[in-house]
Structure 1
């Protein structure tokens, strides 16, 4: 009886469906994979999903077919759209070097949705990115979450302010300025958070002293300051710090700051995280692991290709990233980075999770993307074979129910 009701419901939904995606294998990332499956799309959302016996495709539907279907891929840490393809001064807006701490810099104000790199990663199945200001300064600015389609970024953005990028270690030090040492870097961060805490406490005391005119007191004691506003959101656990740190002692400094101020952090890169599995797990911190094919020099000289696997097996939530290197004119692709991690112990299922549902959970967008479920955004990638196999191609990409790529890449 229940099965009959489900079939009738699927039939009713199918009557208004606009696009149907057929897959020999559909990795939903919300349970078991579906063999010989169908996804129906209506008004930008997934309207139905199931086997070809359960879901009826209406005749008027546009039908796309593929051997393998996955959710649209998510790049959990990128500078695409700010760091452009030309790698020249006019299209490199990912790092402002005029001051060590600039948390007020917004990614949306520098994002170029028409940069060829955005199109390039979209054609390979990447539909969502956490992109923004790069590592390289102590607090370089904000990241945002955006879909990789459209011309107007305001229509494609999912979260205008996702995280604040912080750099601990060699990359964040200034050879001829401040901070010049690790101790100074952490002291500067601590000093800013203490300053904001003092402001919050003073405002609360003023409000308590004058309940009758609370709003006017709040305004008079703290004029608007866009830097202080975003830092207060960090202290209120509304915006996490995305802490780029590779050495184990820099990672420990990040965990120490998070505990001292009760702030949320996500580790970025974390080449030596495999040395601190217990500490990271105890802190409840997620890790956006360095690109698998990063170059092993400097801070990353102790990088392990098994880092992602070790962290995941320990129960630490991970995601993959394309990352940032100032001298590389093209962006990495998380599909390829996840494939390498899969070969080095992460395995197919966990590698795919790291660029779909687990990445969505770390970014707090899993209610909309990251898996193929009824009601979620219709962000879908189609492949002519195993997505992690070098010879496979992405044959089509759908974002918000619209076909944005239909050529084989």
Structure 2
């Protein structure tokens, strides 16, 4: 059978027919796995999975070839903490599933502290923000509620950015709580009240763990806790180590409280988020084995919790042995490579910068057997870059998710094309794109 060659360029190109297996040849492949980095390598993809990675140039018959000579090949990038698929552009976007409101006038009998909330029911793979992120090489993301009046921001999910309806990779993937100066009045308006409430919530979850056969018995139990019964059930998954617990904290004193919480609850997989002053207590975080998801761009104090802001935060944490992930926000997750590049410019090793966008967040959420690196048997989320992915002058030329080449068309492209061809006879509001 004839082999087909696609030469990857800097312009738009036609799609590869994904019914056939694919071979990406000639590129420098950063596997982010045990094979390390291979020059002039071959990546074989079939049935949505990585089949083989080798430095040998031989390619089996019937593979469609993509020439990546002189280019960089990496795993698809992983948005470490976003609200992708839960939020849309403004005006007529409708409900915003990335935020929740709680109060007497809008009380929800299912949850009193927010732990039972589950974003899988609000995820929309048609969000216009998904292709905008995908064209920058991001193929998967952690998505969750970003703000609200509840103590916990519910249970987040791991999603693919394929845009398909089967985009949910892992549900009930993490729990999130903010213990920074953003403490709202509904939590007593102070850390003194918030931390007691957090401890009480987990104490109630622990109480149902002690009841033999609670899964069958609980529906008939009377419940008089601060949390609701669905809240306690969700928190029990956190206590059992099945769901990471993300703490947003910036000042060193708050971060040390998170470390102490981990010491009291060693079974919980604790993750630190934002962590502007984390470098000040890096050794304590490393000793407690607490990974960090941060925005390394923080360099000026945004408040009294961030007086220690520095561009060297990521580098200092890495030097201390803390696992660092980069890739926050939603509308601007597309800038994650620039953020990692700036962290590298300020001392973070290059390979650690790429790991912060790939294998490290996959490890945090327990999906590293599927995502985060290029290894045989893993999902074929692969990106071919025009150059160094951590340089702003480089871009993602080809993006594969499950071995399927993704479109590089976004809402911005459509808007550009729409208004480049103005029809002066008819108002644009009456012209269907």
Q: Which of 293, 297, 301 matches 1:292?
A: 297
1:227 has 2:239 as partner: no
Q: Which of 84, 92, 113 matches 2:88?
A: 84
Distance apart, 1:93 and its partner CA:
1.9
Contact map agreement 1:35 1:51 (CA 8 A) in 2: yes
TM-superposition CA deviations, 1:167-215 (whole Å, max 9, x none): 00211322xx4330011010111111112222333x23xx6xxxxxx98
Report the CA distance shift for 1:168/1:40 in structure 2 as closer, same or farther (over 3 A). same
Which has the larger displacement, 186-195 or 86-95? 86-95
Q: SS state of the match for residue 198, structure 1?
A: helix
Q: Which of 330, 345, 354 matches 2:347?
A: 345
Match of 2:426 in 1: none
Distance apart, 1:88 and its partner CA:
6.7
Distance apart, 1:221 and its partner CA:
3.6
Match of 1:393 in 2: 395
Distance apart, 1:292 and its partner CA:
2.4
Distance apart, 1:85 and its partner CA:
2.8
Distance 2:219 2:100 in 1: 31
Contact map agreement 1:322 1:337 (CA 8 A) in 2: no
Report the CA distance shift for 1:62/1:35 in structure 2 as closer, same or farther (over 3 A). closer
Q: SS state of the match for residue 69, structure 1?
A: strand
TM-score (normalised: structure 1): 0.85
Q: Which of 4, 26, 31 matches 1:28?
A: 31
Which has the larger displacement, 136-145 or 235-244? 136-145
TM-superposition CA deviations, 1:115-171 (whole Å, max 9, x none): 11111111110011011111555312121111101331xx22121011111000211
Match of 2:271 in 1: 266
Distance 1:184 1:140 in 2: 17
Match of 1:18 in 2: 21
Q: SS state of the match for residue 257, structure 1?
A: helix
TM-score (normalised: structure 2): 0.80
Distance apart, 1:101 and its partner CA:
2.2
Report the CA distance shift for 1:247/1:238 in structure 2 as closer, same or farther (over 3 A). same
Contact map agreement 2:132 2:334 (CA 8 A) in 1: no
Q: Which of 114, 119, 130 matches 1:102?
A: 114
Report the CA distance shift for 1:296/1:52 in structure 2 as closer, same or farther (over 3 A). farther
Distance 1:305 1:140 in 2: 28
Match of 1:277 in 2: 282
Contact map agreement 2:157 2:171 (CA 8 A) in 1: yes
Distance 1:216 1:60 in 2: 53
Contact map agreement 1:69 1:383 (CA 8 A) in 2: yes
Report the CA distance shift for 1:62/1:186 in structure 2 as closer, same or farther (over 3 A). same
Report the CA distance shift for 1:42/1:305 in structure 2 as closer, same or farther (over 3 A). same
Report the CA distance shift for 1:406/1:135 in structure 2 as closer, same or farther (over 3 A). closer
Distance 2:216 2:375 in 1: 48
Match of 1:144 in 2: 157
Where does 1:101-120 land on structure 2 (aligned, <5 Å)?
A: 101-120=113-132
Distance 1:332 1:45 in 2: 25
Distance apart, 1:97 and its partner CA:
2.6
Q: Which of 156, 166, 169 matches 1:158?
A: 169
Distance apart, 1:295 and its partner CA:
6.5
Distance 1:391 1:309 in 2: 23
Q: CA RMSD in A?
A: 2.6
Distance apart, 1:87 and its partner CA:
7.1
1:181 has 2:190 as partner: yes
Match of 2:59 in 1: 56
Aligned positions, number:
376
Report the CA distance shift for 1:271/1:75 in structure 2 as closer, same or farther (over 3 A). same
1:71 has 2:84 as partner: no
Query: Which structure has the highest helix share of the two?
Result: 1
Q: Which of 195, 198, 204 matches 1:195?
A: 204
Match of 1:403 in 2: 405
